């Protein structure tokens, strides 16, 4: 399922390229893309935490 980057609406018909909520042309992200970005952010936060702990 794809999520709109403008307002968070979801659709299964991204080929229409129109957001079903705001009726504007939107960019779309898949749930997998969102989950991957969240995993990357968590990994970066863990690395930063390790660096901070090493300084103390």
SS (H, E, C) the chain: CEEECCCCCEECCHHHCECCCCCCECCEEEHHHHHHHHHHHHHHHHHHHHHHHHHC
Question: What is the predicted pLDDT for the residue at 22?
Answer: 65
Spatial distance between the Cα atoms of 5 and 27, rounded to a whole number of angstroms:
6
Confidence of residue 40 (pLDDT cuts 50, 70, 90): very high
State yes or no: pLDDT of 46 exceeds 70: yes
Question: What is the predicted pLDDT for the residue at 48?
Answer: 94
pTM (two decimals):
0.55
Of 39, 40, 24, whose CA–CA distance to 5 is shortest? 24
pLDDT tens-digit series, residues 8-36: 776 776 666 677 666 666 777 888 888 89
State yes or no: pLDDT of 55 exceeds 80: yes
């Amino acid at each position: 399922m794809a999520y709109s980057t403008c307002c968070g609406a979801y659709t299964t018909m991204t080929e229409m390229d129109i957001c079903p909520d705001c009726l504007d042309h939107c960019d779309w992200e898949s749930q997998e893309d969102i989950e991957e970005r969240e995993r990357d952010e968590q990994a970066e936060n863990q690395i930063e935490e390790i660096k901070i702990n090493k300084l103390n």
